[in-house]
Structure 1
Amino acid sequence: MRTISSRNLRVAYVSFGRQTFDLEQASELVQASMQALRSQDVEWTMVEGLITSVDGAQAKANQLYGHIDVLLAQFTTFVDGRFITTMATTCQVPVIVWAIPEPNRAHGQRLSLNSFTGVNMAGRVLNQLGIPFRFVYGDAADVAFQTRLHRSFLFWKAWHHLHQFTVITVGEAPDGFFFSIPSAAAVKQLGIRVLQLNLDETFARALAVPDGEVEDELARVQSSVRGMERLSVENVLKFSKILMVLREDLVRVDANAVAVRCWPEFFTQFGAAACSVISALSEDGTMGACEADILGALSMDILYQLTESPAYLGDLVEMNPTDGTVTFWHCGAGAFSLARPDTGAQAGVHPNRNIGFTLEFGLKPGVVTILRIGEDAEGNVRALIGRGEVLDEPQRFRGTSGRVRLLDGRDEDLVTRVSRVIEDGFEPHYAIAYGDVFDDLTRLFKLMRIPVARF
């Protein structure tokens, strides 16, 4: 199984043209486009020259099959639906169809390219064929276009992660956390892979790591987390050792995320909190979920792919109908960079167990997207998505927390909105990431035929 990452999304660029339009102008646009596209952080296969025949499209598609993850098809002029049909059905990857602005802007001039109509036809064809695709429009060198194209690449990276997601679980779910382990039907529907590590064996491997081997890791974390010198040396060493072991395991099985049974054994047997381990992994781009929440880890990962920002996983612990806010909280887990800048990420001890180390901070202010991938009563996969704004205010509770004003209320009061979420039986862990990717999530789940509810 090949995992798609931000740096190895393999994208092929092809350009279509028709002889009856202005191919000289189209060819110039192709050269300019290829130059501008190289600034995108993907692995490019640039197909030189315009494809002007269906046979040419088939030949190029045969060469690309099995070597790309996404096809970027630029319609430099109008071409009929056979071109995209041939390439998309042969390559068998998602497609981005690209329309370019008509270059002749003065009134009364010839419609020299008619790119937009070609893309419109391609959208109809791809929709009928059931081939996933996105649409982009603009000049290659335009900054806004480059941003939209980057978002499209992030979208397909997330799409691939949903299809290839592998999660390591460390131990079983805590007693009564029935939602943490998805049903076999849900795992099959999503196509994810779940690999389980034995908790006791993981502890033993961690304790066997020599103290000297974790010095670099400790120094790196100490540069991001304040107040670690106040903690028990034993707690900090155990954190570093189990972090090293889990990093090795993630690489060994090519996993995307980890879900950890963080209590009670981490406290009662290992003698340290798992919160900091989950936080450090999430900070580095491997999302970590507490309480062995597999679909919580998946929710975090999808948000991370779309926003390029570490996701936070929190309980919904409070609502304030007066100002339309809810509070998300967890015991002490959160990527270090999510902390308010005025306090930074602080090292602490678990609020209920009084064992370190955990993270202490309020979430930084900003617009966020909320996501929960879960199951309905029949075991079918569904998703809950929402927009919010983390308020600029001090830490609400010990651990990590943030007060969020829910946006896009559709004239519903807060109690009605939250009541709907609770009464529909959504899981009590919610993934949150900075950035507005609500529309991308809606499109992603539509392509996956996963029903969506709105927070």
Structure 2
Amino acid sequence: MIKIGMVGTHQLSFPGEKENLYGRMREQMRKNASEMGFELYAYEKLVVTEEEALAARRALEEEKVDFLLILNVSYSAGHLVSALYRIRGARVGLWAVPEGAASGPVPYNSFCSANMFQGINAHYLRDYGIKSKWFYGFADDARFKRRLAVTVRALRALKKLRSSRVALIGGFAPGFNDLYFDERTAFSKLDGIYINRLHEYSEIIAIADKISDEEVKNCAQSLGEDAIPKTKNAEKLYSLSLKIYLAYKKFAAEHGYDALAVSCWPKFQDDYRYSVCSVLGMLNDDKIVAACEGDLMSAISMLALQEMSGESTALMDFSAFDETDESVLLWHCGPATKKFCQKNGYTLGENYSGMAHEKGKINGVGVARDMEFDETEATVFRFSGDMEKYLNLGGKFMGKGKPSFCGSRGWLGGLKMNGEKISALDFTNTILASGFEHHYPVAKGDYCDEVAELNAWLGIGAIEKIRYKDHLQEAKR
């Protein structure tokens, strides 16, 4: 949970009922805190002088607030900007309120003060590089609450990332060299994150080998998957799959990991003729973020989406596009959380084996989740490269019915990139011309604003649309 600090500023020369106004906004912010899930620390005394502002800042720093919301109750002295904006350890927001009158003497001059405060920060304090988000309205106004909720979810994700523990187990999938990144960038952007790349596949197998048949039986009963249809191959490997699932759970708990990037092939296929796909779905069901193919950056991105949405996430490939209905197919072997198919359900089947196929014969291995995603809004987000860019795609899964490949999948329509409508062809061109990595973390719901705000605080730029042309196109990175 994040903590928001609130402080009110004013000037004696304006006649509005400032104490009363600040009291009302403070009480409404307490209601917002309860509704939105944040902690509020409201500095009780209105601030007039620089000395008072510095005292307020010290109190807010002692409270370790994550976000400081400065309410210009009335026009306030410009020297308060430096005293308050330079708070240590917190992001900054500036808030102005309506005058409550259309004529006569100006009661508060709140908005004009906010304009000046932001100008001082942008110019006089420019070398500090302090970011500040503005707010306008009373604390119970619909737009104010929407805008604040976006900030709460974005900063909640940022706070989680900066305290998270993430592990790579078994290395990247062979040849998936687009997934490499310099972890020092993550350390600088997400100060406090812990990343361990050194865990081995053998650690999981050693844990799995010690899991008893009784534990497996109890796990099967608790999951309630007995009634879920399975292919013969998936049925044969189901007990092994539960052992591997329990092993990853124990491993994550033992080390305190929030997210795992799992090397899901080829070792499992070589050693057991088995696919770990459904295990990743089960871990994500439990909100232990699990990314396929050793993709650490996607694991970090999924963790951010999970914090924003409060729901389990999934990691997909981009497998096809359809210009007739402006949709794209997000597909993967079978690792998606059951949260995406609460209406349609899933079966347990087989998938890619990593071995040569005989003509006319499917050479697959279990266990994979075969599902078509429910009709729902969705957000696709991933940090790209060394976190210098990010992808922000919104849309709506179209539900069951449109032909698609076996595995976990959904056709995503109504595409919007960075909040703007984009065609399937332009999106495809943007991905390929920019060299974006081939993995797509996805969450249920529209959190595109939260994704944009998270990255704005981090100073990371969005991948911009590259409109399709017949000539060679290449994006600058």
Query: Quick check: 1:415 aligned with 2:425?
Result: yes
Q: Separation in 1 of the partners of 2:255 and 2:189?
A: 19
Q: Separation in 2 of the partners of 1:393 and 1:51?
A: 58
What pairs with 1:107-256 in structure 2 (closer than 5 Å)? 107-127=102-122, 128=126, 129-184=128-183, 186-191=185-190, 192-195=193-196, 196-213=198-215, 217-222=219-224, 226-227=228-229, 235-256=237-258
Q: Separation in 1 of the partners of 2:85 and 2:422?
A: 43
Q: Separation in 2 of the partners of 1:412 and 1:266?
A: 39
2:371 to 317, 340, 361: 361
Q: Provide the aligned length of Structure 1 versus Structure 2.
A: 442
Q: Separation in 1 of the partners of 2:199 and 2:29?
A: 46
Q: Secondary structure at the match of 2:100?
A: coil
What pairs with 1:322-333 in structure 2 (closer than 5 Å)? 322-333=324-335
Q: Separation in 1 of the partners of 2:406 and 2:280?
A: 17
Q: Separation in 2 of the partners of 1:385 and 1:172?
A: 27
2:389 to 382, 388, 395: 382
| Partner in structure 1 of residue 311 of structure 2 | 309
Q: Secondary structure at the match of 2:294?
A: coil
Query: Quick check: 1:55 aligned with 2:62?
Result: no
Q: Separation in 2 of the partners of 1:297 and 1:224?
A: 29
1:392 to 387, 399, 402: 399
Deviation of 1:453 after TM superposition, in Å, equals 1.3
Deviation of 1:180 after TM superposition, in Å, equals 2.7
Structure 2: runs of 5 or more not aligned: 354-362, 466-477
Q: Separation in 2 of the partners of 1:138 and 1:228?
A: 55
Indicate how the Cα distance of structure 1 residues 322 and 30 shifts in structure 2: closer, same or farther if over 3 A, else same: closer
Indicate how the Cα distance of structure 1 residues 398 and 70 shifts in structure 2: closer, same or farther if over 3 A, else same: same
Q: Separation in 2 of the partners of 1:44 and 1:206?
A: 45
Q: Separation in 2 of the partners of 1:175 and 1:211?
A: 33
Q: Which moved more, 1:436-445 or 1:148-157?
A: 436-445
User: 1:160-207, CA deviations, whole angstroms, 9 ceiling, x for partnerless residues?
Assistant: 345445321111112111123323554455445321321112111122
| Partner in structure 1 of residue 21 of structure 2 | 26
**If the length of structure 1 is used for normalisation, what is the TM-score?**
0.85
Indicate how the Cα distance of structure 1 residues 34 and 427 shifts in structure 2: closer, same or farther if over 3 A, else same: closer
Q: Separation in 1 of the partners of 2:30 and 2:188?
A: 41
Indicate how the Cα distance of structure 1 residues 182 and 81 shifts in structure 2: closer, same or farther if over 3 A, else same: same
Indicate how the Cα distance of structure 1 residues 252 and 134 shifts in structure 2: closer, same or farther if over 3 A, else same: farther
Percent identity, please: 23
2:80 to 59, 64, 83: 83
- Does the aligned pair in 2 maintain the 1:185–1:380 contact within 8 Å? no
Query: Quick check: 1:425 aligned with 2:435?
Result: yes
Q: Secondary structure at the match of 2:79?
A: helix
Q: Secondary structure at the match of 2:400?
A: coil
- Does the aligned pair in 1 maintain the 2:220–2:242 contact within 8 Å? yes
Structure 1: runs of 5 or more not aligned: 1-7
Indicate how the Cα distance of structure 1 residues 443 and 380 shifts in structure 2: closer, same or farther if over 3 A, else same: closer
| Partner in structure 2 of residue 5 of structure 1 | none
Q: Secondary structure at the match of 1:205?
A: helix
What pairs with 1:250-269 in structure 2 (closer than 5 Å)? 250-269=252-271
Q: Separation in 1 of the partners of 2:232 and 2:89?
A: 55
2:445 to 435, 442, 450: 435
2:383 to 373, 382, 386: 373
| Partner in structure 2 of residue 45 of structure 1 | 41
Tell me the C-alpha RMSD between the 2 structures. 3.1
Query: Quick check: 1:10 aligned with 2:10?
Result: no
Q: Separation in 1 of the partners of 2:309 and 2:94?
A: 22
Deviation of 1:321 after TM superposition, in Å, equals 2.5
Deviation of 1:216 after TM superposition, in Å, equals 5.7
Deviation of 1:257 after TM superposition, in Å, equals 1.4
- Does the aligned pair in 1 maintain the 2:430–2:464 contact within 8 Å? no
Q: Secondary structure at the match of 1:90?
A: coil
- Does the aligned pair in 1 maintain the 2:264–2:275 contact within 8 Å? yes
Q: Separation in 2 of the partners of 1:211 and 1:47?
A: 58
Q: Which amino acid aligns with 1:80?
A: A
Indicate how the Cα distance of structure 1 residues 27 and 329 shifts in structure 2: closer, same or farther if over 3 A, else same: closer
Query: Quick check: 1:36 aligned with 2:44?
Result: no
**If the length of structure 2 is used for normalisation, what is the TM-score?**
0.82
Q: Which moved more, 1:8-17 or 1:332-341?
A: 8-17
Deviation of 1:153 after TM superposition, in Å, equals 0.6
Q: Secondary structure at the match of 1:65?
A: helix
Indicate how the Cα distance of structure 1 residues 207 and 35 shifts in structure 2: closer, same or farther if over 3 A, else same: same
Indicate how the Cα distance of structure 1 residues 88 and 172 shifts in structure 2: closer, same or farther if over 3 A, else same: same
Deviation of 1:327 after TM superposition, in Å, equals 0.8
- Does the aligned pair in 1 maintain the 2:204–2:251 contact within 8 Å? no
- Does the aligned pair in 2 maintain the 1:167–1:194 contact within 8 Å? yes
Q: Separation in 1 of the partners of 2:61 and 2:254?
A: 28
- Does the aligned pair in 1 maintain the 2:415–2:421 contact within 8 Å? no
Indicate how the Cα distance of structure 1 residues 148 and 260 shifts in structure 2: closer, same or farther if over 3 A, else same: same
- Does the aligned pair in 2 maintain the 1:368–1:387 contact within 8 Å? yes
Q: Separation in 2 of the partners of 1:243 and 1:9?
A: 32
Q: Separation in 1 of the partners of 2:181 and 2:227?
A: 34
Indicate how the Cα distance of structure 1 residues 228 and 212 shifts in structure 2: closer, same or farther if over 3 A, else same: farther
Indicate how the Cα distance of structure 1 residues 223 and 62 shifts in structure 2: closer, same or farther if over 3 A, else same: farther
Deviation of 1:333 after TM superposition, in Å, equals 0.9
Q: Secondary structure at the match of 1:158?
A: helix
- Does the aligned pair in 2 maintain the 1:224–1:345 contact within 8 Å? no
Q: Separation in 1 of the partners of 2:328 and 2:74?
A: 50
- Does the aligned pair in 1 maintain the 2:380–2:440 contact within 8 Å? yes
| Partner in structure 2 of residue 4 of structure 1 | none
| Partner in structure 2 of residue 278 of structure 1 | 280
Q: Which moved more, 1:18-27 or 1:228-237?
A: 228-237
Q: Separation in 2 of the partners of 1:354 and 1:268?
A: 13
Q: Which amino acid aligns with 1:139?
A: F
- Does the aligned pair in 1 maintain the 2:318–2:330 contact within 8 Å? yes
Query: Quick check: 1:349 aligned with 2:342?
Result: no
